[in-house]
């Protein structure tokens, strides 16, 4: 597993906030806002395994121990989609982990966490689990995975969701979720619901939802794709489930402090399994100190412009109503080199 720093993504560099599909074909279309110099980069990986990996494992383990049923569930998941997704997750994690993880079709091992599970990916069960010493084994010492999806998700920084489509009616629905780092939403509220319902609470999602049938077809039949979402937060905690312990982000008394502010970027990949009539979504937060994200005056100008382009409803949805004037004033100073 790599010990490199997280990739720095700045999807706000367009200077406009939009709620759109924004799909880049994974491994084909370069992403235009990657790295310190906002260079174009060809994204080829599904899972982002970098030196923040321990923080994700620790956060997921805490949520798992507190109330797994609030973060994970299934609704109408077929054996075919379960097998396709679980086998893909296991194979891809192993391939992208630089030897830290292995998968032989039945057994998945993670040397960093020190555990090995025998998995039945068709039934979705953990047949056996053994634990040994590993650099991060203490983080999962008290965790007992309840399913193959639960086990595999605990090995990845990414949150996971499975979208299904009924082969006869074409109706889509969210068939499974394992979302341990939600940003102020309840994963189980979305379970069993269609694409339009899932995204309806997002301010400005009307045009996106209008394309739902075509978008779902593209996700399942073409791709894989990568897309990004972003926002400013007043906390660097990963898990903002509504039932999680409260913190400074979106608290009523929160005051803007640039040294306690962060840009949270979600990198999402979408991989379709046409024969199984479904797709895998991965969601991976990247959290950067605000000063790092806008270290260049041009970056500060772009972030300010993107916020000014938001509707009042979008500002409220992002939890920035009380903070936006001070945020814009601070960004103006950064843009001026102050």
- List pLDDT tens digits, range 270-311: 999 999 999 999 999 999 999 999 999 999 999 999 999 999
More reliable by pLDDT, 235 or 210: 235
Task: Supply the mean pLDDT for the chain.
Answer: 94
Judge whether residue 252 has pLDDT over 80: no
Q: Are 121 and 248 in contact (CB under 8 A)?
A: no
Q: What is the pTM of this model?
A: 0.95
Least confident of 55-59, 194-198, 241-245, 294-298: 194-198
What's the confidence (pLDDT) of residue 223?
Answer: 85
How far CA 189 is from CA of 69, 183, 262, 319, in Å, comes to 12, 13, 27, 20
Decide: 254 and 234 in contact? Cβ < 8 Å.
yes
- Residue 160 CA to residue 189 CA, distance in Å, equals 15
Q: Are strands 115-120 and 107-110 parallel, antiparallel or unpaired?
A: antiparallel
pLDDT band for 212, please (50, 70, 90 cuts).
confident
Gap between the Cα atoms of 105 and 1, Å rounded: 20
Q: Rg of the chain's alpha carbons, rounded to an integer?
A: 20
Q: Is 59 helix (H, G, I), strand (E, B) or coil?
A: helix
**Residue matched to tokens 């409220």:** 316
| Complete edge-to-edge strand list for the sheet that includes strand 115-120 | 101-103, 107-110, 115-120, 125-131
Distance CA 138, CA 150 (A): 18
Q: What would the two tokens of residue 25 be?
A: 């074909």
Of the candidates 148, 93, 95, 146, the one whose C-alpha atom is nearest the C-alpha of residue 118 is: 148
Contact (CB, 8 A) for 20 and 229: no
Torsion angles phi and psi, residue 81, rounded to 5: -70, -40
């Amino acid at each position: 597993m790599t010990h490199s720093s997280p990739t720095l993504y700045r999807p706000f560099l367009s200077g406009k906030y939009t709620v759109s599909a924004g799909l880049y074909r994974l491994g084909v279309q370069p992403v235009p806002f990657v790295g310190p110099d906002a260079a174009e980069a060809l994204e080829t990986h599904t899972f982002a395994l970098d030196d923040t990996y321990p923080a994700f494992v620790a956060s997921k383990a805490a949520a798992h121990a507190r109330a797994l049923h609030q973060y994970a569930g299934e609704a109408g998941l077929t054996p075919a989609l379960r097998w396709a997704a679980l086998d893909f997750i296991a194979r891809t994690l192993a391939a992208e982990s630089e030897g830290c993880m292995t998968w032989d079709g039945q057994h998945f091992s993670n040397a960093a966490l020190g555990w090995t599970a025998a998995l039945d990916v068709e039934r979705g069960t953990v047949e056996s689990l053994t634990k040994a010493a590993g650099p991060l084994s203490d983080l999962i010492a008290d965790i007992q995975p309840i399913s193959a999806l639960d086990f595999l998700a605990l090995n990845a920084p990414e949150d996971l969701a499975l979208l299904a489509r009924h082969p006869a009616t074409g109706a889509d629905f969210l068939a499974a979720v394992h979302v341990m780092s939600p940003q102020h939403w309840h994963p189980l509220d979305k379970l069993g619901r269609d694409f339009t319902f899932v995204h309806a609470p997002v301010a400005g999602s009307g045009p996106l939802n209008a394309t739902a049938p075509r978008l779902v077809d593209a996700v399942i039949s073409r791709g894989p794709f990568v897309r990004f979402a972003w926002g400013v937060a007043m906390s660097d905690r990963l898990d903002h489930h509504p039932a999680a312990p409260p913190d400074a982000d979106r608290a009523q008394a929160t005051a803007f402090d640039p040294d306690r502010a962060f840009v949270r970027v979600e990198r999402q990949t979408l991989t379709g399994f046409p024969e199984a009539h479904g797709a895998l979504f991965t969601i991976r937060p990247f959290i950067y100190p605000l000063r790092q994200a806008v270290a260049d005056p041009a970056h500060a100008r772009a972030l300010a412009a993107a916020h000014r382009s938001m509707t009042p409803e979008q500002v409220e949805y992002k939890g920035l109503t009380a903070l936006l004037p001070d945020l814009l004033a601070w960004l103006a100073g950064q843009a001026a080199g102050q």
